[in-house]
Chains A and B, each alone.
Chain A
C-alpha cells in the first residue's frame, strides 16, 4: 500500500500542502465568501418575509375597508328605509288630512243642498196646499154654491191630507 510505504517520504509534503489548501479554503472561502452568500440568502428570505407580511397587511386593510363599506351600506340602507318609511307615513297622513278636509267640504255642500231641497219640498208642499185649498174653494162654490172662506178651505185640505 503506497500510503504506508511512502509515509515517511511524503508525510511532510502532504501536511504542508494540505494545511496550505485548508487554510486558503478556510480563510479565503469559508470565512470570506460563505458569509456573503449566506447574507444574500438571509436578505432574500427577509425580503420574502417582509413582502408576505406587507401582502398580508394589505389584504387585512382591504378586508377592513370592505367591512367598513358593508357597514356603511347597511347603515345607509336602514337610514333610507327609515326615511322612506317616514315619508310614506307623512304622505299618508297628509292625504288623510286632505281627504278629511275634502270630505267635510263635500258634506257641507251636501247638507246645504239637502237643506235647500227640504226647503223647496216644504215650499212645494205649501204651494200644493194653497192650490188644493183654492181648488177646494172653487169646487165647493161651484158644486154647493157655498162660499167657503179661504182659511176654512185650507183647514179642510190640511185635514184631508193629514188623513192620507
Chain B
C-alpha cells in the first residue's frame, strides 16, 4: 500500500466553495459555478466569431455557422417547419453540453493550482436540463393537444385486448425519458473521467514501483490514456448531439403526436 498513489479518482467531482458558505447557500460561488461561467464565456467568444456576418465567411465564421446550421437542420429534420420555435432551447443545451464536456477534457491541470471541472458530470446539472426538456414536452403536448396528448401512448393498430397493457408500457417509457436523458450524459462523463484518473494513478504508482514491470505498466497506461482522451473528445461531442437530438425528438412527439 506504500506505493499506492494518493490520487482519488472521485476527487475531481468534488464541489468546493470559492466564495460564500457552501452548505445550502444558493449563491455560494463554487468551482462548478466558476466553470459554468468559463463555459459561458468561451461559448460567447466562440459565437462572437460568427457575428462578423460577412458574405464570404472566414474560418471562424464557417465554424460558428456550421454549428448553428447543424442544430437548425437537426431541428428541421426531426420536428419539421414548426421546430424553429424550439431552436433556442435545443441550441442552448447543445452548445452548453458540448462546451462543458470539452472544457472538462482540456488539459488545464498542467497549470499549477488549476483544476478543470466537468460541469456535465454532475447529475444535478444534467437532471435539471433533462427536467426542463421534459417540461417543455409536457407543456407543449398538453397545450396543443389537451387530453388527446395521451393518444401518444396508444400506438396505431393496437389490439383492444392489449390496450391497457400497451398504454402502461408506453406511459412508463415516456416517464423514464427524463431520467435516461439525464443519466446517459452524466454516466458517460463520469465514467470517462474516472477511467482517465484511474489510469493516471497507474502511471504514478507504476513509476514508483520497483523493478522493470512498473515503468512498463506506466507506459502502457499512458498510451491507453492517450487513446481514451481521443475517445472522450468524440464522446463529448456525441453526448451533446444525443442530448439535443433526443430533446428535439421528444418535442416532435409533443408537437406532431407521432
List the interface of chain A (C-beta within 8 A of B).
Answer: 1-3, 6-22, 24-26, 28-31, 33-34, 36-38, 40-41, 43-44, 47
* Interface of chain B residues 1 through 49 with chain A (CB within 8 A): 10-11, 13-15, 22-30, 32-33, 36-37, 39-40, 43-44, 47
State whether the Cβ of B198 lies closer than 8 Å to any Cβ in chain A.
no
Q: How many A-B Cβ pairs are below 8 Å?
A: 132
Q: Please, which residue of chain B has its CB at the minimum distance from the CB of A39?
A: B53
Please determine whether B68 and A41 come into contact, CB atoms closer than 8 angstroms.
Answer: yes
- For this complex, 19 residue pairs linking A to B, each with C-beta atoms less than 8 Å apart, are A3-B13, A6-B14, A6-B15, A13-B22, A13-B29, A14-B33, A15-B124, A16-B26, A17-B30, A18-B128, A18-B129, A20-B36, A21-B37, A21-B39, A29-B95, A31-B88, A34-B88, A41-B68, A43-B55
- How far is B28's CA from A13's CA once the two chains are assembled, in angstroms? 6
Q: Chain B residues near A31: list those with CB within 8 A.
A: 88
* Interface of chain B residues 85 through 130 with chain A (CB within 8 A): 87-89, 91-93, 95-96, 119, 121-125, 128-129
Q: Chain A residues near B36: list those with CB within 8 A.
A: 17-18, 20-21
Q: Please, which residue of chain A has its CB at the minimum distance from the CB of B33?
A: A17
Please determine whether B96 and A13 come into contact, CB atoms closer than 8 angstroms.
Answer: no
State whether the Cβ of B141 lies closer than 8 Å to any Cβ in chain A.
no
Please determine whether B65 and A40 come into contact, CB atoms closer than 8 angstroms.
Answer: yes
Please determine whether B53 and A13 come into contact, CB atoms closer than 8 angstroms.
Answer: no
CB distance from B25 to the nearest CB of A (A): 6
Q: Please, which residue of chain A has its CB at the minimum distance from the CB of B46?
A: A29
Please determine whether A40 and B53 come into contact, CB atoms closer than 8 angstroms.
Answer: yes
Please determine whether B128 and A30 come into contact, CB atoms closer than 8 angstroms.
Answer: no
For chain A, what secondary structure do more than half of its interface residues adopt (helix, strand, loop), or is it mixed? Answer: helix
- How far is B24's CA from A7's CA once the two chains are assembled, in angstroms? 10
Please determine whether A13 and B33 come into contact, CB atoms closer than 8 angstroms.
Answer: yes
CB distance from A47 to the nearest CB of B (A): 7
Please determine whether A37 and B64 come into contact, CB atoms closer than 8 angstroms.
Answer: yes
Q: Please, which residue of chain A has its CB at the minimum distance from the CB of B72?
A: A38
Q: Chain B residues near A6: list those with CB within 8 A.
A: 14-15
State whether the Cβ of B178 lies closer than 8 Å to any Cβ in chain A.
no
Contact A47-B55, Cβ < 8 Å, known A10-B15, A34-B68: yes
Q: Chain B residues near A43: list those with CB within 8 A.
A: 55
Q: Which 10 A/B pairs are nearest by Cβ-Cβ distance?
A: A12-B26, A17-B33, A30-B88, A16-B26, A14-B124, A13-B28, A40-B53, A30-B91, A21-B36, A2-B14
